[in-house]
Amino acid sequence: MASSKDKFPSYKEIITSILASAQGPLPVKEIVERMLALHPSQAKNPQRAMHQHIREANGLLLVYLDPNTVLPLRLAYNGARFRLPLDRETVNKGLVNIRESLHSYLPLVFPLEEIRFVDQTGSPIPFQIKPVSQKVTTIFGENTITSEHADLGAWFRSQKMYHNDHLLFTIVDWEKGVFQLEREPARQRDEKLLEQRNQLLVDMFFALLEHDVSEAIYSHQAVPTIYAHLPDKSGYPPYHWLIAILQDGRMTTDGWRIHYSDSGFSMFERLIQQEAGERAVAQTQPITSEQRKQVYRFKAELAYRPNIWRVVEIQGKHTLADLDLELRVAFDHDTFDHMGGFWKLVPRGGKEDPIPLKRRARKQAKYREIELGDVDPLGGGDGAGSKIAGLGLSVGDKLKYVYDFGDWIEHSLTLEAIEEPEPRGKYPREAGHNEPEYVDCVECR
């Protein structure tokens, strides 16, 4: 006997069917009503359950234009354009890495052998897919990576393609994997317009990242969202989003996850980077003789017990190692063991979001972390020699200080003032602390 579930199509099938006939944006409310009409829900809150199914389709079948409107993914992508610069080797061999170049512009699961290229007249461009292997070295040893390339050598020769030319792509049919190819000779390139289009593209990615609730966005959702909002997506094409992001410098990506290039790292990532000699920390600025004398006053609080705080004053000529030691003494931490580390906290989402997507409300200000370096109490550490005045701090800026990377005792530092030193004042020094919790305890503070 058939179960009751067999009487109804799945919610994914219903969403797919609704989107298939859409010729433009759809109200989310309308989709919810049609879903419930075709497949009644036993959930306590049926509308909320349907909204969740729609959110799960984001980046797979649709994208959000705003909290109440969605657009089928095929309409977000069809007509979108991008470009790839061609180097001498690519032109000579005629091989274009289609796995790297096209995976974000295709349905999430799409057989590469079904990709089709056409020219500006709509005529098919014949090509073959060839696997190309290359060796890469990581901390885990040498590995061989194989990726699929389109052999476009014959077409390149027919177009008289040269290095420094650009290969332009137009998505003709996203669902079927059809792309129009076009050669743009270097001499015909509008460099100023290209720079503007690239800047617009990366600014939209950065805004999406800034206003997201986490410190990462994902390409299968972000790329179609950007193209759905990009003015004149069928106009003069910007670079492939991967190239544009990596050239911009504010973000980095592995092709799937997009995050801040200066974002914080987990302890595992820190160890991996350190082993590979790749871990980078923020560079300090040169300082003047006047800045060397100035006194920086920080209020430092235990992150999880902010009622326990100290005020520390330190001069610009002093280093993060000096600040680390002063904080250890002020909070009665061990001064001969355990690493310490500093991060600068930069507010996120300060500008108006150009993409009006709904965000989860935050209970407190959200920051991204720029690593300033770590300090070994016995000497050394990549941040130990960084001068306080060279950190580029302004009054109101916040730092994170961690004592003991094992127990991860976190402190929040706020720069309250930058002042002239007192006559005969000795720095660094503790300049204040919280009242003791127990007034009769001599040692408590």
Residue 64 CA to residue 72 CA, distance in Å, equals 9
Residue 353 CA to residue 226 CA, distance in Å, equals 12
**Annotated domain spans of the chain:** 11-73, 78-189, 194-259, 295-433
pTM of the model: 0.76
**Residues 362, 363, 364, 368: is their CA dihedral positive or negative?**
negative
Domain covering 11-73, topology = Arc Repressor Mutant, subunit A (1.10.10)
Q: Is the pLDDT confidence value at 112 over 60?
A: yes
Q: Tell me what pLDDT residue 185 has.
A: 97
Q: Is the pLDDT confidence value at 389 over 60?
A: yes
Domain covering 295-433, topology = 3.10.290
Q: Tell me what pLDDT residue 63 has.
A: 95
> To which H or E segment does residue 164 belong?
none
Q: Tell me what pLDDT residue 202 has.
A: 96
Residues ≥6 apart with Cβ < 8 Å to 310 = 299, 300, 327, 330, 331, 430, 432, 433, 434
- Rounded mean pLDDT, 166-172: 98
Residue 369 CA to residue 342 CA, distance in Å, equals 10
Q: Tell me what pLDDT residue 184 has.
A: 98
29-52 CB burial, b ≥16 within 10 A, e <16: eebbebbbeebebeeeeeeebbbe
Q: Tell me what pLDDT residue 205 has.
A: 95
Tell me the pLDDT of the chain averaged across its residues.
89
The domain defined by 78-189 carries CATH number 3.40.50.620:
no
CB 317 within 8 A of CB 389: yes
| pLDDT bracket for residue 350 (50, 70, 90) | low
Q: Tell me what pLDDT residue 270 has.
A: 55
Residue 445 CA to residue 27 CA, distance in Å, equals 59
| pLDDT bracket for residue 212 (50, 70, 90) | confident
Which of 101-110, 130-139, 209-218, 427-436 has the lowest average pLDDT?
Answer: 130-139
Q: Tell me what pLDDT residue 102 has.
A: 93
